[in-house]
Structure 1
Amino acid sequence: MKGRLLATVALLAATAIWGSTFVVTKRSLTDLSPPSFLLWRFGLAAGVLVLARPRCVARLSRAERRQAVLLGVALAGGFLLQTFGLLHTLAGVSGFLTGAAVIFTPVVAATLFGERVGRLGWVAVGGSAIGLALLAGGVTAPSPASALLTLAGAAFFAVHISGLSRWATRANAYGMTALSVTVAAALCAAAALGHGGVSAPATRETWQAVLYLSLAATCAGFAVQAWAQSALTAVTAAVVMTMEPVFAAVLAIAAGEHGLQWVGWVGGLVVVASMFLAELGPRECCDALSPRVECC
């Protein structure tokens, strides 16, 4: 129980950092295209991760490497779609739409991995979906095309969340993170070459944004996520990470982007309540019915 609580707190801290990335990325897209920005973000992060522990990838088994490559594909797909959508979407709204990953995750976990989701698990997911809808109702809506891109990105994130919960262990978490981030960087490089070529940040502010997202949000954040999800199921992790749009909304307001109506704040409270239901509620929830990664 203590280990699960620590993993939940760590994942929540990482989620707070990710919530800040919407505003930071939005401001940087005036200087760089989405693929170039993501190439710098993931490329620098991959370099740091591999240099810090150069043998981490070599220690992975062949199966773990294949899994990490799949995670990298999901990671690149999610961020490319999300960032292209962010071009014409407010940062706070993008955070809300990305939170739809909590709705997609049980479907992915059950369909691809045969993970069973208990009744209270579905209640928590449903509560999160309602909360996200209320949050979205409290802000200006994006263009339909941008919304679809962001929702498609959320589906890729759901695959990433489900795969981590199924494959990550405390022993392989760092290596899988390093390899998946490297794969994501390579795919973003290919996307940048097909989208006008690779460009470098032109201002000090953009370099600061790239470094922050590379070191804090990617290196630290994804390493923490992989470690935490070795102790949590996909559904529990997804519900915890629904706090990301709440953090994104608060930080967007602090940055002066937009105001949030009272219905949006009600939605935020519903999201928080759903998170507590999934993690602190009776253990006949999804976790009691799902196989643990460590035992497989």
Structure 2
Amino acid sequence: MNKQWIADVSLLAVTFVWGATFVVVQNAISFLEPLSFNAVRFWLAGLFLLLWLLLFYRSLLTQWSSSLLRAGGWMGLWLFSGYAFQTIGLLYTTSSKTAFITGLSVVLVPLFSFLFLKQKPTANAVFGALIATAGLYFLTMNGGEWSMNRGDVFVFFCAISFAMHIIVTGKYSSRYPTLLLTVIQIFTVAIMCSVFAFLFEDGTQMWNVAVLRQQEVWTALMITSLLATALAFLIQTKFQKYTTAARVALIFAMEPVFAAITAYIWAGERLSPAGIIGCIGILSGMILPEFRFSLSFGKRLSTKRHLTR
């Protein structure tokens, strides 16, 4: 079976899990503050992966190196930034808006590829970014008025972070063992979340049994730590080497779609007509860079997929 097809299906499954957890996380952070929640989430995920490594893949420890540590730490830094900004943003904006603004990372990937990897974006990639930006404007309108609140700003920085995470994952995933690289980046996020939780929140709530016993909290922690963190990033690190960053970004564009569906089913969230237009604009901006349109003399107009990077 084609490895790229397996990679695409696996990454789509990961995207579904991420999209479905927006509402779950938003409910949980009403009891446990965002950075504290992420600290517990990533510690649990990291410990699970470490136990898995020691029990079944201990021989991989012989491949430990300082360059591996730097690569995993760099991936973890961008991952921490993305989740920190996203979870804080959920305090001030809706799950649907968070999902669609986060999706702008798909448009940012070609731009950052040009800035940091010197890969020139196509003309329709630039056009797609403009369409997505217009879509963002409509999505954040409220009754015809501009309403970019602080939650939306936090989530936009989250989009930047996740775009960088896609790029660095693509860079390092083929160089180092998947499990080791994943363990390092997960523990990096756990440590950084813990430090910042004590600096900006009441970090002692991370081990407050009364808080952790809340159904909304422990349910969210179990789902996000095992499925949306340990398994999800293990799969991304494993399979991104078999496809391109642009293709991964296109697959991740389905995350806000899944999030909007689950927000509709579980939380009863509705988008205004302008918001729907904005969502269509952002999705169009995400997908457009993945296609190339060409007209050949004497031949009919043909459209084919064009995967950059």
Q: TM-score range, shorter-chain basis?
A: 0.7 to 0.9
**Residue 105 of structure 2: aligned partner:** 101
Given the alignment, which residue of 163, 174, 177 partners 2:182? 177
Change (3 A) 1:23 1:169: same
Q: 2: CA distance between counterparts of 1:279 and 1:7?
A: 17
> SS of the residue aligned with 1:198?
helix
For 1:210, what is the secondary structure of its paired residue?
helix
Q: Is residue 111–residue 121 contact of structure 2 (8 Å, CA) maintained in 1?
A: no
What percent identity do the matched residue pairs reach?
A: 28
**1:14 & 1:283 partners in 2: Cα distance?**
26
Name the aligned partner's letter for residue 86 of structure 1. Answer: L
2:225 matches 1:214: yes
- How far apart are residue 142 of structure 1 and its match? 6.3
Q: Which ranges of structure 1 fall in alignment gaps of 5 or more residues?
A: 291-296
Residue 33 of structure 1 deviates from its aligned partner by 0.7
Hey, what's the Cα distance between the residues in 2 that align with 1:71 and 1:198? 27
Query: Offset at 1:161?
Result: 0.7
- Where does residue 235 of structure 1 map in the other structure? 246
AA aligned opposite 1:204: Q
Cα pair 2:139 2:279 within 8 Å, conserved:
yes
Residue 191 of structure 2 is matched in structure 1 by 186
Q: Which has the larger radius of gyration?
A: 2
Give the one of 109, 115, 118 matched to 2:119.
115
Backbone CA RMSD of aligned residues: 3.0
Q: Contact 1:236 / 1:278 at 8 angstroms: preserved in 2? A: no
Equivalent in the alignment of 1:151: 156
Given that 1:76 and 1:187 are in contact with CA atoms closer than 8 Å, whether structure 2 keeps it comes out as yes
Q: Report the equivalent of 1:247.
A: 258
Tell me the SS of whatever aligns to 2:264: helix
Instruction: Name the amino acid aligned to 1:94.
Output: T
Alignment partner of 1:102: what SS? helix
Greater mean alpha carbon deviation, residues 208-217 or residues 232-241: 232-241
- Please give the residue correspondences for 1:47-196 in structure 2 after superposition, counting only pairs within 5 Å: 47-54=47-54, 55=58, 56=60, 59-119=63-123, 144-169=149-174, 172-194=177-199, 195-196=201-202
TM-score by length of 1: 0.84
Q: Say whether residues 1:285 and 2:268 are aligned partners.
A: no
Indicate if the aligned counterparts of 2:135 and 2:280 stay in contact, CA closer than 8 A.
Answer: yes
Query: Do 2:141 and 2:147's aligned partners in 1 also have CA atoms closer than 8 Å?
Result: no
